[in-house]
Amino acid sequence: MLLIERNEVGMTTTSESARAWAHWTEPEWVDVDGVRTGYRRKGSGPVLLYLHGAGLTRQWLPLYEELAQGFDVVVPEHPGFGDTVLPSHVRTFEDLVLHYDALARNLGLDGEAHLVGHSMGAWLAADLAVTYPTRFATLTLMAPMGLRAPRSRPADPFRWSPEQADHHVFSGVAEKYTDYLVQEGGIEDYIHEYGESIPFARLTWNPRYDVRLEHRLARVQAPTRVIHFADDNFIPRELPARYAELVPGAELIVLEGADGEPASHVSIIQQPAAIAALITEHAAS
């Protein structure tokens, strides 16, 4: 039987007890300033805090499993994503920075963690590294949002249908990765995707970038690696190149496609071992 529960923004989601889709793992929970926040954690070694993008939630991805071979990997769900509710007070990236400061304290993530972010999560990771410049051992930004691209015209995800989104984000090979895209299937997945579009729009609709970051990134002290996916149809190369230019000492890595496939915006799905190796190499150096 399909069980339904209602979250704070009024969207319906399936109960955890009814789930059996690929890559699903049961989350742990922590109270963060009154927000019941889901997270997944596995592995041993140095702490690696991974901040996801605007999708691929409610799963333990192969990339996380690869990273857990050498790190204590912590993957929280942002407020409004996955099964974590969207409280009314979370409206800006500054609110998310405070949320993650409290989450780190509540989970006892003492010492210098390695910070990794993808897409919108990379924007958030940059804000965290700006606000707390001495907290993180290394910083890895993959296909980061958040800066202006004066010479490029970034794609507009708010104009895409779900089918167009899959096509653009996977650079035309989404049909090979349906086990990451289909959870309950049908209307339940549309409801979940619509629910996650609310916090994504609240955070990024207007403006689509933070002009203040161009100045603030000079505060980052963590050794930084920026990774651009060569065939990304969402984030133009100008954005990660600009991050690498503005963060002191940062390096830019371009990941090419493999096995006859393009290196899409979600190369984290296509090439988990290669990306884990890039993150691990950076952390070790």
Taking the domains of the chain in order of start, what are their residue ranges? 28-284
DSSP 132: S
What gap in Å lies between CA 96 and CA 124, rounded to an integer? 8
Those residues whose C-beta lies under 8 Å from the C-beta of residue 49, and which sit 6 or more positions away, are 74, 76, 100, 104, 109, 113, 114, 115, 116
Q: Within a 10 A sphere around the Cβ of 41, how many other Cβ atoms?
A: 16
Ranking 87-91, 107-111, 146-150, 208-212 by mean pLDDT, the lowest is: 107-111
- As a residue count, the chain comes to 285
Above 80 in pLDDT, residue 110? no
With 0-12 / 13-18 / 19 or more C-beta atoms within 10 angstroms meaning exposed / middle / buried, residue 178 is exposed
The model's confidence at residue 8, banded by pLDDT at 50, 70 and 90, is low
Q: Report the CATH fold assignment for 28-284.
A: Rossmann fold (3.40.50)
CB contact at 8 A, 3 and 17: yes
Q: At what angle do helices 120-131 and 187-204 cross, to 10 degrees?
A: 40
- The residue that leads in pLDDT, 110 or 253, is 253
The model's confidence at residue 270, banded by pLDDT at 50, 70 and 90, is very high
In a 3-state reduction of DSSP, which class is residue 125? helix
Those residues whose C-beta lies under 8 Å from the C-beta of residue 13, and which sit 6 or more positions away, are 4, 5, 7, 83, 188, 191, 192, 195
- The residue that leads in pLDDT, 187 or 10, is 187
In a 3-state reduction of DSSP, which class is residue 142? strand
How far lies 210's CA from each of 94, 101, 207, 256, in Å? 11, 20, 7, 28
The model's confidence at residue 17, banded by pLDDT at 50, 70 and 90, is low
The model's confidence at residue 3, banded by pLDDT at 50, 70 and 90, is very low
Average pLDDT over residues 104-129: 95
Q: Using one digit for the tens of pLDDT, what is the confidence trace for 205-215?
A: 988 899 999 99
The model's confidence at residue 171, banded by pLDDT at 50, 70 and 90, is very high
What gap in Å lies between CA 47 and CA 112, rounded to an integer? 8
